[in-house]
Structure 1
Amino acid sequence: MTDRICVGAIAGAFGVKGELRLKSFTAEAADIANYGPLTTEDGSRSFAVTLTRPISGGLGARLSGVKTREDAEALKGVTLWAPRDALPSLPDDEFYHADLIGLEVVDTGGKTLGRVRAIFDHGAGDILEVVGGKDLLLLPFTRAVVPTVDLTAGRIVADPPGSDE
């Protein structure tokens, strides 16, 4: 488990006075402002976040130290990270994506399928990308397909669709 969690990304400038478009990865988008200060992935910069308004595709926001449109535009694509201890604890059946990345995935018989490389959400629910050697497996992150996530043991038990054929 990491000591920081990615909670958002800067999508670009918004307006001419340093305001920017912020994409929040938190369950409630506006909560991103409650976990600060937020840092860049490498930890080299830190920002206090002030939300200004909801906008199409995200939130309007001001970050401390960002005064001009050029400052805001230069941050486009930068991810924002919060300390894990600033985030709420989750119920037993919910997980931060950062905790799943890198976990070993085995089938219900104990055969290794690979490791979680990424998690995607295209609107219909999370998809685990599992890589094992040259094999790539995309698994819906549902209780039926992923009945067990054991963070302590560092592994996921999966029952991939079609595996009983």
Structure 2
Amino acid sequence: MTMTMTITKLMHTKLSIGAGIHHPEGWHTLDCDPATTPDILATIPPLPPEVLCHSWDEIKWIHGITSLYPWEAEQVLREIQGILFPGGKLVLEQPDLDLVLRHGKVEWLFGDPSHKNPLIMNKWAYSPDTLSELVRHCGFENIEILPATYHNAVRDFRIKARK
């Protein structure tokens, strides 16, 4: 059975974009690095057909939106908005540009170059206000700005939004 067939048969599912080595129970994973053994191997944008052919209850994207240029991020957010079930949830976490500027920690913004891995370096940055506005612009509602729960709560912020 192909991955496409498996995913299209599922109902009410969750997707972690840019999951890396994290494979949470009950979640499908998408990543561009084959070493992380994702369920769906793909580089975005655009979202791959295996994702676009399905509706999702929840999509989380932790430390990923900043790895895209702003126009690419908007494209992916619009694609996500189109494939979430009505009322479906989007969760984003990323470094907070305002905090980075306040603390003068440029490595918080761009990532750690010692890894020499372009996949984990950032191309853009957002403050809670600028990312909230982009998410709203892409059709999401009930946008909440919250403390981060995955990485560095001092550096990062979380956005939860609904379709």
TM-score by length of 2: 0.24
Rg larger in structure:
1
TM-score by length of 1: 0.24
Name the structure where helix makes up a greater proportion of residues: 2
